A and B are shown apart, each in its own frame.
Chain A
Amino acid sequence: MTERANVSLDAMDRVVLLKDIEQFLYMEALLLDERRLTEWLDMLAEDIHYWMPIRRNVKFGDWDLEFSDPDSEISYFDEGKDILVGRVRQINTGVHWAEEPVSRFEHIVSNILLLEVNGDEAKVSSKFFCYQNRLQDEVNLFVGRRYDTLRSDPDTVFKIAKRDIILDQNVLLPKVINTFF
């Protein structure tokens, strides 16, 4: 995208909006890393679609085949808030062995780009670099980008109404994914 994003706000409004978005996404990362998962759930809209596709190696140009289709194929995540709430409940039992003892995570978020503003919704892309360190020597790296739809909200500034997570892996190298992006 070489053109200016589809954001018809004046300069000051744009700066304030971007700053709000940036702070929101940084706070989200902090909540995940401080294991405040129940608070993290409050940042998600009730109608969120949370999707992380499996990525295929495909011939140049066959890009429609690269990401698993959320309409008909198998993805890592392809779900709504009820399932995400269930995942957090499971971690919070303290007997979810895949994440017990809990991991040390750092979610680093950058390259935040405002793509579009429509009414009370903003489309935003960002990059993530997530470092996982667990037990003695278990280390996993999750690197990729996200496309979010953020909806303004009186309590939490925004709610995440849609999140597409594009992870840069083919065969998943970590044995499980027990965090969120």
Chain B
Amino acid sequence: MANLIVARGDRSLRSLIDTDGGTVSRELYVNEDIFEQEQEQIFNRCWLFLGHESQVPNPGDFIVTRMGTEEVLVVRGRKDNQIRAFLNSCAHRGMKVCRYDQGNALIFTCPFHAWTYDCNGSLVGAAYQYAPYAYDGGIDREQWGLTPVAQFKNYYGSLWATWDPKAPSFEDYVGPFAEGIRYDCEASDGEEAGIEVFRPFQKWRLPTNWKVPAFSSSTDLTHAAMTHRSVNAASIGPDRGTMSGGERHKRRAPFPSDRFAVGDHNLGHGGNWTVYQQPGVPEYVDTWFEPGVDEYFREARERKAMKYADRILPPHGHEGGHFCVFPNFIMDSWRWRWWHPHTVGVVERWSLFGIDKNAPKPVKDAVRHYVMRYNGPTGATESDDMENWNYVYSASRGARARKRNYFFANGLGRGIESDQYPGVVFNGTHTEEAHRARFSRWLAFMEASSWDDLYPINRAKSHRIW
């Protein structure tokens, strides 16, 4: 295979995106060299989603999660109750110090040479540490703790981290989408950080490049009618099929608003963006088959209406629509999906699903059963996405196939740049504006040798390429 990238930050990648024609070379998806560079340039620098605080409610609780190709241990401190995150690799010789998915621990002892860490990641012991014929007390504990993430953020209960100490704050990284994340972490009655997630993570493998789903599944309204043609037959909706697909929109209460697909070309995020023309919240519309559930949500909506009585709803999240956080996280109301690359042709999909932490059990059960039959490898809706995303990859790898660019020109040239948010381009709901913004940001990350070249550290910079 040809070496496409000569050096880190090589600008030859720019030739793989035809910004006038609105096309992207398939090399971005199938080339191993590019994949390796992405790990360094993107996954080692970006803020990545780890999980939710309700997965580690008590001191000593831990989960093992991932940041791209690497495992990360998330643990709540026993003394200070703070959540921290570390690379799951022993400082000594690299063995995984934790091989359990979830649990409660006093310490983490590496099974190789018994290097032992506390819940703060500090080295507290090692085999033969004081033996005069071995280390003789010579291990510097300060230096040989677990590798912590460079920055960690608990944002309304959602947990995020970056390996890059020079990355901007989480709020600056997500920019205008911070409000959507806050809103999706809000309970249905408006309580801030009022949700918990159902455990455990859903995890499964898909043979494709990580960007196939991560860069094109939010917002892609044009795929639904064909990809999900069969799902109405399964009657999996919250109402168990008492309304057909065509009737569903009639059940949404009218509320004056304009809906767009947006792409933030400086930050790479994008998705639905709803501009509400008046404060308040739409009236609740009955949705659920299970008795008692609509009553709960209707009552919660009334309390939420008081919170937003004089306030315009956030433009995305919940009713506003789903959106993605660059590079690999998609937030669809309480359904959170993200994509960990493994190799150039294998991605591991993880999901979490939220619910009001104070909801009564019948409400939690109804929502839980709904998300199980909708999402994941046994989800009647998502399973059809997997088929498409899988065979996109194998049909794009050949010497001939990779010479034909992918078409991303839907809406190209019709977007309108926001005055209020630099880099954010508004476009029609069924355009590929959000997709194009991902590639603007992808190229910026692949070319930049440091955060000095990247928005928002360098606020004079515009990354929009098309």
Chain A positions near chain B (C-beta within 8 angstroms): 52, 54, 56-59, 62, 65, 68, 72-79, 82-83, 86-87, 89-90, 92-93, 95-99, 170-178
Chain A neighbourhood of B390, CB < 8 A: 175
Q: Is the CB–CB distance between B205 and A171 below 8 Å?
A: yes
Chain A neighbourhood of B200, CB < 8 A: 54, 56, 68, 73-74
Chain A neighbourhood of B16, CB < 8 A: none
Q: Is the CB–CB distance between B364 and A72 below 8 Å?
A: yes
B25 to chain A, nearest CB (A): 25
How far, in angstroms, from A82 to B237 measured CA to CA in the complex? 12
Chain A neighbourhood of B100, CB < 8 A: 56-59, 62
Q: Is the CB–CB distance between A175 and B202 below 8 Å?
A: no
- Given that A75-B372, A170-B101 are contacting pairs, would A93 and B380 also be in contact in the complex, using a CB cutoff of 8 Å? no
How far, in angstroms, from A138 to B203 measured CA to CA in the complex? 20
Chain A neighbourhood of B99, CB < 8 A: 57
- Given that A90-B380, A177-B377 are contacting pairs, would A95 and B101 also be in contact in the complex, using a CB cutoff of 8 Å? no
Q: Is the CB–CB distance between A83 and B206 below 8 Å?
A: no
Q: Is the CB–CB distance between A73 and B198 below 8 Å?
A: yes
Encoded as 1 (CB less than 8 Å from any A CB) or 0, chain B from 366 to 404 comes to: 001101110011101001101110100000000000000
- Given that A57-B99, A62-B103 are contacting pairs, would A173 and B204 also be in contact in the complex, using a CB cutoff of 8 Å? yes
B198 to chain A, nearest CB (A): 5
Q: Is the CB–CB distance between B241 and A86 below 8 Å?
A: yes
Interface residues of B in 218-232 (CB under 8 A from A): 227, 229-231
Chain A neighbourhood of B380, CB < 8 A: 86-87, 90
Q: Is the CB–CB distance between B377 and A175 below 8 Å?
A: yes
The closest CB in chain B to the CB of A54 belongs to: B200
- Name the residue among A92, A170, A171 with the largest chain B CB count within 10 angstroms: A171
How far, in angstroms, from A171 to B376 measured CA to CA in the complex? 12
| For the complex of A and B, 7 pairs with smallest distance between CB atoms | A172-B204, A86-B234, A98-B383, A90-B234, A96-B230, A176-B383, A56-B101
Query: In terms of DSSP, what is the predominant structure of the interface of chain B?
Result: mixed
How far, in angstroms, from A72 to B200 measured CA to CA in the complex? 10
Given contacts A73-B368, A87-B234, 11 further A-B contacts (CB under 8 A): A54-B202, A56-B101, A58-B101, A74-B368, A78-B369, A79-B372, A86-B235, A93-B229, A98-B383, A171-B203, A175-B386
Quick one: which of B103, B198, B241, B368 contacts A65, CB cutoff 8 A? Answer: B103
A86 to chain B, nearest CB (A): 4
The closest CB in chain B to the CB of A94 belongs to: B230
- Name the residue among B101, B227, B240, B353 with the largest chain A CB count within 10 angstroms: B101
Interface residues on chain B, number (Cβ under 8 Å)? 42
Chain B neighbourhood of A82, CB < 8 A: 235, 240
Chain B positions near chain A (C-beta within 8 angstroms): 99-103, 198-200, 202-207, 227, 229-231, 233-236, 240-241, 348, 353, 364, 368-369, 371-373, 376-378, 380, 383-384, 386-388, 390
| 29 A-B residue pairs with CB within 8 Å | A52-B378, A54-B202, A58-B101, A59-B103, A68-B199, A72-B368, A73-B198, A73-B368, A74-B199, A74-B371, A76-B377, A79-B369, A79-B372, A83-B236, A86-B241, A90-B234, A92-B233, A93-B229, A95-B229, A96-B384, A98-B384, A99-B383, A170-B101, A170-B203, A171-B204, A171-B205, A171-B348, A175-B377, A176-B386
How far, in angstroms, from A50 to B405 measured CA to CA in the complex? 45
How far, in angstroms, from A86 to B359 measured CA to CA in the complex? 28
- Given that A82-B240, A90-B233, A98-B387 are contacting pairs, would A175 and B204 also be in contact in the complex, using a CB cutoff of 8 Å? yes
The closest CB in chain B to the CB of A88 belongs to: B234
Q: Is the CB–CB distance between A176 and B240 below 8 Å?
A: no
Chain B neighbourhood of A59, CB < 8 A: 100, 103
Quick one: which of B103, B369, B378 contacts A177, CB cutoff 8 A? Answer: B378
B49 to chain A, nearest CB (A): 17
A35 to chain B, nearest CB (A): 16
B134 to chain A, nearest CB (A): 29
Chain A neighbourhood of B101, CB < 8 A: 56-58, 170
A105 to chain B, nearest CB (A): 15
A34 to chain B, nearest CB (A): 21
- Given that A74-B200, A171-B203 are contacting pairs, would A176 and B377 also be in contact in the complex, using a CB cutoff of 8 Å? yes
